[in-house]
């Protein structure tokens, strides 16, 4: 049996997929989560001896300090995630995304939890005219991105001989998850193609790096199992150059995929204006060269899986609030 991994935010969109993969690789897992979007994603582990489930807020210093005692590695995914969610609760965003993250990293360092992996975002780049690597200037256009930058900086300042954090700047995720989200661009387009027989695009010329949630989970395992001297104090963009897409290109891929699955044409409606100022392409050479990380999943694959889950009734009503982070609502959690 391998050493225990503490996944903070293990019931979330990425966390629930990552926990599955960790268990497949024989890691015992402790999940710490506030379950603000419900518990359905981890109910299958309630009687699983390999999994300890702890409910609590990461702003609770006493709880977090106690939960990490039995873990050898800590993966911090929990956050107020996304621009709309952060804008709706700015105080909670600062407390959770920055202050709590700083506290957790400091506690790991003091307790000798050397391997600490932190989920940041490629949104820290904001707007860029070229393909951006990890050394590119940061240009945040939202509170969410600003708190992630502050957390990155505070965590990296703690690096020493006994603390080796790694920062993961994630591409925009997509794909089916036990804790499903329909406020992510690929998932949203697929859902509206199914529910409304159309895809709405706002702007369309803006670039965005995209990545399947399963590939994202694989990236964390790559870092978890990497030589500590390689990943110590490193920042990695996580994704692939081939999945740097213009938003209108994403709509075309999904439109073709769903039209084929549904047996009907799915029109794409493009509005030239967009409220989203983010526009950036990202280089993933560093994680590819240093950790041999490659993605294996595609947008059309994910669109078909999501479409099938909607058609079969696995997801009963994709318009429910539980599938959208900014509502902070689990009351209508009817997935499954």
pLDDT at 332 over 60: no
Query: Taking the CB of residue 222, how many other CB atoms lie within 10 A of it?
Result: 19
pLDDT at 273: 78
* Nearest CA among 58, 161, 152 for reference residue 100: 58
pLDDT at 271: 87
Our CA dihedral for 136, 141, 143, 148, rounded to 10 degrees, sits at -10
* Nearest CA among 27, 25, 29 for reference residue 42: 29
Q: Which CATH class is domain 181-209+242-281+296-327?
A: alpha beta
Write out pLDDT tens, residues 179-209. 999 999 999 999 999 999 999 998 899 999 9
d(CA 269, CA 202): 9
pLDDT at 241 over 90: yes
Ranges of each domain in the chain: 5-173+211-241, 181-209+242-281+296-327
Write out pLDDT tens, residues 258-278. 999 888 999 999 988 777 778
pLDDT at 336 over 60: no
d(CA 218, CA 22): 9
- Provide mean pLDDT across the span 1-20: 95
* Residue with more model confidence, 288 or 332: 288
pLDDT at 272: 81
Beta strands 51-55; 73-76: pairing state: unpaired
- Tell the CATH topology of 5-173+211-241: Rossmann fold (3.40.50)
The structure's pTM equals: 0.95
pLDDT at 116: 98
pLDDT above 90 covers a percentage of the chain that reads: 89
Write out pLDDT tens, residues 129-186. 899 999 999 999 999 999 999 999 999 999 999 999 999 999 999 999 999 999 999 9
pLDDT above 70 covers a percentage of the chain that reads: 98
Q: Identify whether the C-beta of residue 208 lies closer than 8 Å to the C-beta of residue 278.
A: yes
Contacts of 236 (CB under 8 A, 6+ apart): 134, 166, 167, 168, 169, 219, 223, 286, 287, 290, 291
pLDDT at 335: 44
């Amino acid at each position: 049996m391998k050493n225990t991994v503490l996944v903070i935010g293990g019931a979330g969109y990425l966390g629930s997929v990552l926990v599955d993969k960790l268990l497949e690789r024989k890691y015992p897992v402790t999940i710490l989560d506030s379950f603000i979007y419900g518990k359905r994603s981890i109910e299958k582990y309630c009687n699983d001896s390999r999994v300890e489930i702890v409910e609590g807020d990461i702003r609770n210093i006493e709880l977090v300090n106690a939960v990490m005692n039995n873990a050898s590695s800590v993966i911090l995914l929990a956050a107020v995630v996304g621009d709309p969610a952060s804008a709706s609760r700015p105080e909670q965003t600062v407390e959770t995304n920055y202050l709590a993250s700083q506290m957790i990293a400091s506690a790991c360092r003091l307790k000798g939890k050397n391997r600490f992996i932190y989920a940041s975002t490629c949104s820290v780049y904001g707007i860029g005219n070229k393909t951006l690597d990890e050394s590119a200037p940061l240009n945040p256009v939202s509170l969410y991105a600003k708190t992630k930058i502050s957390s990155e900086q505070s965590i990296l300042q703690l690096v020493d001989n006994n603390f080796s954090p790694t920062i993961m700047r994630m591409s925009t995720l997509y794909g089916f998850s036990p804790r499903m989200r329909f406020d992510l661009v690929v998932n949203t387009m697929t859902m509206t193609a199914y529910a409304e027989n159309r895809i709405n695009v706002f702007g369309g010329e803006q670039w965005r790096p995209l990545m399947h949630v399963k590939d994202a989970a694989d990236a964390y395992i790559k870092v978890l199992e990497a030589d500590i001297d390689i990943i110590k104090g490193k920042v990695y963009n996580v994704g692939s150059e081939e999945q740097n897409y213009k938003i209108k290109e994403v709509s075309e891929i999904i439109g073709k995929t769903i039209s084929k699955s549904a047996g009907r044409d799915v029109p794409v409606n493009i509005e030239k204006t967009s409220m989203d100022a983010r526009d950036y392409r990202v280089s993933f050479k560093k994680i590819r060269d240093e950790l041999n990380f490659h993605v294996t999943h595609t947008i059309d694959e994910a669109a078909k899986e999501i479409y099938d889950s909607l058609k079969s009734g696995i997801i009963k009503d994709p318009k429910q609030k539980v599938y959208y982070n900014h509502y902070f609502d689990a009351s209508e959690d009817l997935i499954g």
